[in-house]
Amino acid sequence: DDTPGCTREAVEFSALEKSFKRAGAVIVGVSKDSVAKHDKFKEKHGLAVTLAADESGKTVAAYGVWVEKSLYGRKYMGIDRSTFVIDQKGIVRGVWRKVKVPGHVDEVLAASKTQQ
């Protein structure tokens, strides 16, 4: 929470939350941050989307988004910004990896509309 990319993405998804709802989609952001940190982040930015805390890392590992990263030669583990569209039967219908935020929310909304 509160990194520039995460914040922008959460704000953009929140702004279109009603459009996603009309498309029959529910938005859930998942990270290893705590519930308290998510609550603070949501309040600070007026977010409408659900944020799920995966402090154990089981969900992010299962989706293959907990990866080794490198910054200035220093290696560390972190989230690979990704989006999954999952239908009502639990089938993954769309996957975006290494997401670049500009335009992403519109792309996901369009894909969500095709799942109705």
Residues noted as catalytic: 6
- Region at 44 (left for phi over 0; alpha for psi -120 to 50; beta for the rest): alpha
Structure tokens at 10: 């959460």
> What end-to-end distance do the CA atoms of the chain give, in Å?
30
